[in-house]
Every structure is written in structure tokens, then in C-alpha cells.
Amino acid sequence: MRIVIAGGHGQIALRLERLLAARGDEVAGIIRRAEQAGDLRAAGAEPVVLDLESASAEEVAQRLRGADAAVFAAGAGPGSGAARKDTVDKGAAVLFADAAVRAGVRRHVVVSSMGADARHEGDDVFDVYLRAKGEADDHVRAQEGLDWTILRPGSLTDEPGTGQVRLEAHTGRGSVSRDDVATVLAELVDTPATAGLTLELVGGSTPVAVAVKSVAGN
């Protein structure tokens, strides 16, 4: 498969790129800064320099054409203010979905966040973030041209992955390692029967492949 990842230099994305490249997939990662390219090449991915905050849908679609799947893993990051939650966590996600439709790339996997909700209340930056992610998720779900799966991990950790998770429509609060999020994403990309599902993810006791198969088609 050829897989294009938005936010290609993110912590989860770099892990995902290594996994996909190791299993023989052709991977491209969209990055904002050219100096990040070496890290992507080291992970086995082709760097594509493009700023999703200023690019047009057609410019993104050009990079997506010919792909078998698209993964949105971009984020403004914990140090960013409310404005970039709107331009990246919402705006870039909407742009990437629209570009995928334009490019005819149906398989679309989104890294969202537990608690994402367009109706979430509050004025703190994290409240704005949850609203932005929720609005982006709603937009993706409205696209008839996408076979989408939305993954909502709990609190992210840098602990080594265990390969065991809890993956359900509703898991309740919890944490999960970035390693395990990447492993789940790799499995989801390869499991189109999960299309149409919004899934929460935390650490658990079920092997990733079994957890994904158990929700596929539900």
C-alpha cells in the first residue's frame, strides 16, 4: 500500500512510519519544515514539505493522488494557543479530508482525542482543542467519499508499547502509549472493515490485532 500521513514528524506519526515501512508499505509524510526530512527518511518515509495551514485543497490532493490510504496525525501541539487549535486541529483536518475526497483516496484514518466534541463547553485552550477536534471529526464523518475511521486515544505516554489495548466505542478514561497508538493505526489502515467507526483507545489486555478484528464490521 501507499499511505500518506499528515503531520509526518509527530511522535505518533514517526512511530507509524517505521511500522509501515518495516512491513513493506510505501509511506509519505507531510511535514511543514524541510529540516524535518532527515527524521522521516530515517523512519523509512518519503518527506513531503507542505504547510497544511496555508495550502489549498488541490495542493494537498496532488500529494494524495495514487495513495491507498491517508492518515491525519497532525496537531498544533501542547504549547500552542487557541488560534492554532482552530487552524491545525480543525482546519488542517478538514482540508486533508476534503483533499482526500478530491484525490479519490477513500481510506481515511484520523487521530483524534478522547473527549473531542463540537459541543464541548469552556474557554481554556484545552476546551478549544476538544471543540476543534470534535468539529473536525464531524466534518470527516459527513464525507460520503471517505471510508473513515476515527481513533480517539486517551492520555498519551512515552512508555514502551505492550501490544495490548482496549479498543471500543467507549472505553472510559485511561492512558495509552504512543507506541501502541501507532500499532493500532497500522492495523486500522489495513482493516477497511473498521470504516464508519469512532473508537476510543486505552491500554488494556487484548492484543492489538485481536482488538481491531473484534470491532471490525460492527
Indicate which residues carry an active-site annotation. 129
3-state DSSP: the chain helix, strand, coil percent, rounded to 5? 40, 25, 35
- What's the CA gap between 23 and 147, in Å, rounded? 23
- What are the residue ranges of helices labelled H in the chain? 11-22, 37-43, 57-64, 82-84, 93-103, 125-141, 178-189, 208-215
154 and 174 in contact (C-beta within 8 Å)?
yes
Half-sphere exposure of 71 (CA within 13 A, CB side): 32
133 and 116 in contact (C-beta within 8 Å)?
yes
